[in-house]
Each structure stands twice: as C-alpha cells, then as structure tokens.
Structure 1
C-alpha cells in the first residue's frame, strides 16, 4: 500500500477529513486501496445499517488499522459498528469475535469477558468460522475467567485445516505453555508449526523458538536459530515483529558474552521506538537493557532501568495482556539482578547475604501489617534488598572479625549506609528505596547513624527496616555470640521502645512476631516477591 493511503487511513479523522483530498487520493489508488477507502467513507457516513459485504469491509479496515499499531482507533471504529449490529449472521459473528479480540488487546477485561460469554452462548457457529471462534475464545481464556479451559479450546481450533487451525491456534498454545513455564512443550509445538510457516508466521515461530532455547540454556541450538532469524530480518526488514526479533537476538548475544552485538541490537530497538513507540516493545527493550547492564556488573543501573520501565508501563491507559506479559518479564529480570547482588554479597560475607533476604521478609511483614499499598511494598522490598550492599566496600578483616570491634573498626562499619548511597548516586530510585538504604541505622532517640536523626526526622520505612534489621541480628548466630531465641529477642525489642522506632511500629511488629514461624527465608522472599508482582499486575493495590 502506498504511504499516502496508509497515512490517511491511520490518521484522518472521520468527522473532519477533507473530501477533496480524499477524492484526489482515491483517483490514484489501486483496487485494494479503494476498498479500504470506500469502507472509510462508509464509516464516516450516517448509515445505521450495513450489508454483509460492507460489514466485512469495515472489519478489514479496522483490522488493517490495528495491525499498524493503532489498536485504540480500531477499537473505536469497531465499537461504533457493533452498536448497530442487530442481526445474527456469519459476518456479524465474525465482527463480534474481532471486537472481543480488540478488547482483549487493550486490556478491557469486562468488555472482553462480556462478548466472550455472549459468543459462548451462540447456538450455531458456521463451519468456516469454527477455527477462528475457538482460537479467539481460547486466547481470551488464557487471561480471563470465562468458564472454559484455554488448552482444550485452542486444541479444538487446531482440528481445522486452515491458517488459524494449523498456525495461529498452535502458536497461541505454544505461547501459553511458555508463559506457564513449560518451555519444552512450547518448543515442541513451535517446531512442529514452523515446518508449515512462511513469512511473518515463520518469524513468529523463530522468535518463540529462540526464547525457549535461551531459557533452557541450549546455546548451540539458539545460535543456529539466531542465524536463521538474522537472515529473515535481512530478507524482510519491514516485518511488524522486527523489534521483538532484535530484543531476543540481543538476549542471545548477551548470553554468549558478545556485549557489543547485544548493545547493537538494543540500539536498533531504541531506533524503532523513536520512529513508533509501543509500550510492549519499550518494556522488552528495558528488560534487555537491564540484562546487559547486570552482565556488565552495573547492577544498580540495571535495577534503575527496570524500575523506570515498570513505572512507565503501569501508567499505560490500558494494561493489555501483552503489556502484562512484558511487565512480568521486566520484574522477573529484577529478581535475577537481586540474585546476582546476593551472590556478590555472599562472596564477601555469607551472613550479610542471608541477612538481606531475612530483613526483606521481616520488613515486608511489618509494612503489610501497617497496610502499605502494593506499590509501597514493592519499593520497600527493593530498598530492603539493597540496604546493606554498601558493606561490599568494608574490608573483609573487619566485616568478618570474630571478636569485638574496636572503635575505629566500628566507625568503618558505620560507613556502609553512605557507601550504599554512593552506588545509587545519580540514579533515579524511589524515595522509599533511598530512605531505607541511607537511614536504616538511624534511631528515634538520636543515637543512630550516619546523621544522628531523631523521631520525626526518620521516615517510617527506614524505621521499619531498622526494626527488621535489629530483630534478624538478634536471632542469628554471629562469630562473637549465639543467637537469641524469639522470646529473648522480643524482650530486648520491648526494652528499646522509645529508642529504636516509634511505638506504633514496635507494637505492630510484636503482632507480626506472634505469628512468625521458622522457615527457609530464601523461599519466603521469593513468595513475597511473587505475591507483590502478582498483585501489581492484577491491579490489587491493597497490600
């Protein structure tokens, strides 16, 4: 399609387009282009009824606009048409399926579920629509509770010998298994359908295959697929999934240690985003950027990139399933960065590494008791995971000294909050994170460090971290003393009322401790992280 026609269809307003310009454009258009233009003109009219042929033309116009990334405009077009459909026919059913999928793409959960239920109640599905019908409903069922099993529904679509049944439905099933963590099954399915695919469909299969191989750490096979994908990119550079291919080629090269090629692909993605921004591609690019930075030991810059992407993506007007997948991918990358930070700490001091996980868990429990929002809990976990990282700059002989520290050595230890802030210098982290890293050793009686702040000057989140930090220190074996029991630690904390943190926090922590049971705190941390991420992605803002 010539660029003038495409630009008109994507950007012209139905109410204000210039009719003379339209006629001029129409006169130089091909037959196919005129079909789209005829549908546009029909849409701009005051007609309230459409023939079957006209309805299909309007659907194709909206689909064309959606495929060019203007999903909201396509949705508005379809919404106008669907409100006028009052008869059951093959084309009206096709239009309802199309409209449901637009709702799905935009994350309009209630509308998508409403039309899914209406479509499930259809008594007669024309044979030529059955594969599309089952594929669309199966896809919606993977994210929204509409009362059907997504796997069996997608498999129904696969019984039909058309493009949807042989390619789209099995691809959606492969993607379903990928996001459920069954990478081997996803890989098996996508390799089967790749044999039938060509063009864009082949590209989708190669990208999915590469994703699975990277997760499964099958590097030699991933290299072979990367070469094929790069060849396809050179042959079809205008594909709509070219950006996604760049992202996962970047992941491949980063995984094999070719940082320069990984950066090249990241730059290509950002060039595409300058031309046309899409939230999904931005999020995927941020995950790649974080992975590259982390592999270069720029862990704090990696965390900053992830938090920045997270904050931008969650402000999107519509959290579509694609953006939800992307957010989950970005936050999963953050967990990997945490793992690398813990590994670095463990090399320096095993106690501090394990202590970090436990403090994060205890601080989370107290903040939850204080009814922090999910977003506040997220920031608090990040801050708690970073709170003692400044200790990597403390000499080993001081950090791991088995006996009592001298005053000079204690002064060096007390530099770790400042060192922690140096790692964050110039980076854009939420205040909650900064307060925890710098102030978790401040005390409300003014005897803490590094600033000697008093009650009213110390943010509540820093006090929460301080309580969790002290409790864990008391209940853990150290070279110079044995751990206290939980009861002994509670008695000690009670004795610090008016000194350590404000009374409301102390009382609430006592309530937390009443329910606390010994457990594997690495597992406990992963559980609270998963719950916080799930709550963020499902819109559960209450902690």
Structure 2
C-alpha cells in the first residue's frame, strides 16, 4: 500500500481529533485515485477509529462492502505490525473479530482469526491466543488453499511458544510442503530451528542451521542471524558468536528500519556482556531505551530490564540488578504463557537473581553467619508454605524475595550487638529494632515493589499491634508479611542463638498454638502449624542456587 496520505493518517490514529480525522478520510476518498486495497484501508480506518472512540462512521460499510472492509482490516493491521505499532495492530484485529468476523464468509472469518491470533501472540496475551488457536484448529478443513501455508506456519509458531498440547513440527512440516518459494521454505526451517532451541536441543538446532543459507530478504536473514547468535551464546561458542554478531551489526547498519531491530539489540547486548565489553552492551541498552513506546511490546520491555540487570550485575551493582530482575518479572508476567525467547528470559532472570542472592548471603555471612543461614531457612519455609497456600505466582515470587531480604538491614547493626550472649540493654534493643527500617531503606531507595518493601519493614509487626517499627495491627499487616513473620519466629525458636539454646519443633509449635494468634491471623496460623507438622526444613548455603532454580522454574510452569 503506497498511498502516503492513507499511511500518514493511519500513523496519526491515536491523536487526531474526530473532526479532522473524518475530514481527511473524506478528502482522500474524493481526491485520490484509489485501488481496491486502498479503499479497503480507508474503510478499515473509519471502522477502527469510530469503534475505538465511539464516533459516527464516515462511510457505510454494510452489505456488499463488508468483504472489502474485512480485506481492509487485514491490510491495516499488517501495516501497523510492519511499522512496529503492535498495540494498534492488536486493537484493529480485535475489533474485527469482535464485530464483523461472524458476519463474514468463512474464508474471511478464518483470515481475521489468524490475524488476531498472531497480534494477540505478539502482545503476549496467552489466554486469548490459545482460545483463537483452539477455534482455528476446528476450522482446518475450511481453510482456503491460498491461506494454508500461513495457517500451518502460524499454528506452529503458537504451538512452539504456548502449551497447546500439539506438536509444532507437524504444523511446520505441512507449511514447508506448501511454501511455494525458497524464502518461505527458509522461514519455516528457521521456525523449526527455533523450536529445537526452545527444547534445549542446541546441537541439533545448530546442525540444521548450518545447512541453511542466507537470503536477500532482510527480515529472514536477520532472523537467521539472531537465532544463530542466541544458540551460540547458550553453547558458549564465543568465537563463532563474535563472527555472527559482526554480521548482525552490519545488517543493522545497512537496514536501520528493520522491524525486529529491538530483538537484535537484546541479543547483541547479552553477547557483549558475555565477552566483558560492558560499554558496548550499555550502548545497545541505550538504543533499546531510545525506541518509541509504541514499538515496544511487554516482552521487549521485560528483556530490556533483564539486559540492564545483566549489565548492573557485571558492574557489581547487586541491589539494582535485583530490582531490575523483579521489574522484568512483573512486566513479563503479563504474558500468561510462554512468550518468544522466554528461555533466554528465564535463564537471565535465574542468573541475575541467583548471583545477586549468593552475593547478599556472602555479605550477611561476613557480618553474621547465623543471620545468613537463618535467611535461607526462612526463605525456604516461606516458599514451601506459599506453594501449599497456592499463592498467585507473583505473590510467591515477591514472598520469596521478601523472605530473602527480610533481615538484610542487620548489616548495619554492629556484630557484637547481634551476637551478644547476655541480655540487651534498652538502648541496644532499640538499635536491633531498627534493622527492618534499615533494610526497607535500601529497597525504597531502589524503588522495589511495595509488597517486598512491606515484608522487610513489617516482618516484626504483630496482629495484636504490639510489634515494631510502626505498631500495625490486624488487617493492616499484609498476608505475605504475616507468612514471613511466623516463619521468622518458628526458625528463631528452633535454632541455637548466643543467648539461648534451640527448642524442639514440637515445643515451638506448642508455643505458636498458645501465643501465635497474637502474631498472625488465626486462619493462617492453623494452616502454618499443619504445614510445619509434616514438613522438615533444612538448608545449607551451597543450596541457594538449586533453591532459586526451583523458585524460578515454578513461576513459569
């Protein structure tokens, strides 16, 4: 579609006022010599704008114009996708499926549903994508011949990334048979390689990739280079990765308008982190941050945070790296199912969090070896109890991080005071009571999520209002905070301290049964006691990597 006035109007979709928009629509229609595709685009723009902003339509697209409108919606949505306007592409396809698809002929209904499945997929809306996938599977016999290549290839892409229960290779093999051109056949081959990559079959993926050749289509060649680079990074083949990175950078220099350029920045950034060239990695991070908001999906935003966390980690900025890891998870949790390249995200997130927490435990151990292991035990207790409570994934993640950091403020407390074997003076106890404030201060300065900061600041609050530092009571204390509070007390009772010996688990549970409702809510207390009766929690410092791998894996089941 080459009409510059239609393209310009489409790209002003979000901010034109209705009167100007309708006037330009009418002017283009009356003054330009338009093709059928361009008239369809005008109808689609009119339909999408009026539906979005509750305005009257400029053109009547009923009756015989419905087919032309459906064709126009298809072209318009693809126009937005090619111009990195994924949100508007999704909006247009959703409006079409919601309002006109059922009135169209079966062929056009299938076209619109394939389109909307893929725009939903690109936006990371897993549940919506899966619903459309299931609908389209039932329509297989109705797919027109000219649409079958796209149909099978797109089902393969979705099946690769989401838990559809199908075998993506089945769809890709059918698409390959119907490709009809070397370029389309290569695209399917690359999708198959990406599937092998997602299954950790790196050697097999690389072997198949080595049999493919580059082509003149920039998007296909760039896709091939990106897959090659990420496979080599997973295999730590840095010499070969360097050559591929050079080719990818050359392609970017010669084709700056390439639509997948953001993804290439991500993998090039990780490549330079891997080889220790942090300034080059920072340069790609800056390029990602300079991209316009409309070109960024949640996946790109999340991966940008992870690249930034990797750079921070390489610089030794552990808290800031952790902050970004949490932010990345919160961004990518909008993807209800596996998003493209999620394995990279999971690996990066695991690497960042595991490395940060390993360092934090070392710092705590240098200050106070008891607090270091106590922190790990409380983390494990909270994680296991949170799973038994069937907490939402984001709550389980925040709970785990909050438990891990709950006593970090003790690094600001003198060692002799933390380990004093005799009774504390009033002044000394007041200083000990400041550790939640010290810990929360670190997190507040780094803009940690409020749920995690609440755990760190309030894990010594009590349901009866007699805790510290803020004297909260009852419902003022969040459920996640209460979980850490009871785990903290339970572990403290059952481990040796300089000023007293541990008591048995049985006696600790008797204490909680008698006094625990002053600490947390009765319902949560009874659940914790039942949990602790049948669960043995022990952990060593070397287990932290295994524990965090388990926590991260749980998040993406």
TM-score, normalised relative to structure 2: 0.77
Alpha-carbon shift at residue 310 of structure 1 (Å)? 4.6
Q: How does 1:140-159 map to 2 (within 5 A)?
A: 140-143=158-161, 148-159=166-177
Alpha-carbon shift at residue 237 of structure 1 (Å)? 0.5
Alpha-carbon shift at residue 192 of structure 1 (Å)? 3.7
Equivalence for 1:75 = 93
Query: SS of 1:83's equivalent?
Result: helix
Shift in CA distance, 500/202, structure 1 to aligned 2, threshold 3 Å: same
Equivalent pair of 1:345/1:352 in contact (CA under 8 Å): no
Alpha-carbon shift at residue 385 of structure 1 (Å)? 1.8
Q: Which moved more, 1:416-425 or 1:142-151?
A: 142-151
C-alpha distance in structure 2 between counterparts of 1:190 and 1:391, whole Å: 52
Alpha-carbon shift at residue 325 of structure 1 (Å)? 4.7
Shift in CA distance, 42/358, structure 1 to aligned 2, threshold 3 Å: same
CA-to-aligned-CA distance 1:424-448 (integer Å, 9 cap, x gap): 1323333331222123244567776
Residue 21 of structure 1 pairs with residue 27 of structure 2: yes
Residue 280 of structure 1 pairs with residue 299 of structure 2: yes
Equivalent pair of 1:66/1:73 in contact (CA under 8 Å): no
Q: How does 1:120-159 map to 2 (within 5 A)?
A: 120-122=140-142, 126=145, 129-143=147-161, 148-159=166-177
Residue 63 of structure 1 pairs with residue 60 of structure 2: no
Alpha-carbon shift at residue 233 of structure 1 (Å)? 0.8
C-alpha distance in structure 1 between counterparts of 2:177 and 2:376, whole Å: 49
Residue 258 of structure 1 pairs with residue 277 of structure 2: yes
Alpha-carbon shift at residue 202 of structure 1 (Å)? 1.0
Shift in CA distance, 189/455, structure 1 to aligned 2, threshold 3 Å: same
Q: How does 1:74-223 map to 2 (within 5 A)?
A: 74-76=92-94, 78-79=96-97, 82-86=101-105, 97-105=114-122, 107=125, 108-109=128-129, 111-122=131-142, 126=145, 129-143=147-161, 148-160=166-178, 162-163=181-182, 166-196=185-215, 198-223=217-242
Among 470, 479, 483, the alignment partner of 1:464 is 483
Shift in CA distance, 147/432, structure 1 to aligned 2, threshold 3 Å: closer
Equivalent pair of 1:36/1:61 in contact (CA under 8 Å): no
Shift in CA distance, 433/412, structure 1 to aligned 2, threshold 3 Å: same
Shift in CA distance, 432/190, structure 1 to aligned 2, threshold 3 Å: same
Q: How does 1:480-495 map to 2 (within 5 A)?
A: 485-494=504-513
Shift in CA distance, 370/54, structure 1 to aligned 2, threshold 3 Å: closer
C-alpha distance in structure 2 between counterparts of 1:367 and 1:344, whole Å: 25
Equivalence for 1:361 = 380
CA-to-aligned-CA distance 1:498-535 (integer Å, 9 cap, x gap): 6654544432211111231457675455434433444x
Query: SS of 1:419's equivalent?
Result: helix
How many pairs does the alignment contain? 519
C-alpha distance in structure 1 between counterparts of 2:414 and 2:208, whole Å: 53
Residue 7 of structure 1 pairs with residue 22 of structure 2: no
Alpha-carbon shift at residue 372 of structure 1 (Å)? 4.8
Alpha-carbon shift at residue 132 of structure 1 (Å)? 2.8
Query: SS of 2:22's equivalent?
Result: coil
Unaligned runs of 5+ in 1: 28-32, 535-543
Equivalence for 2:355 = 340
Equivalence for 2:554 = 531
CA-to-aligned-CA distance 1:390-445 (integer Å, 9 cap, x gap): 3444566777x6x8367488777655433322321323333331222123244567
Aligned CA-pair RMSD: 4.1
Among 275, 287, 293, the alignment partner of 1:268 is 287
Equivalent pair of 2:77/2:93 in contact (CA under 8 Å): yes
Equivalence for 1:30 = none
TM-score, normalised relative to structure 1: 0.79
C-alpha distance in structure 2 between counterparts of 1:117 and 1:140, whole Å: 12
C-alpha distance in structure 1 between counterparts of 2:266 and 2:328, whole Å: 15
Alpha-carbon shift at residue 358 of structure 1 (Å)? 2.8
Residue 429 of structure 1 pairs with residue 448 of structure 2: yes
Residue 404 of structure 1 pairs with residue 421 of structure 2: yes
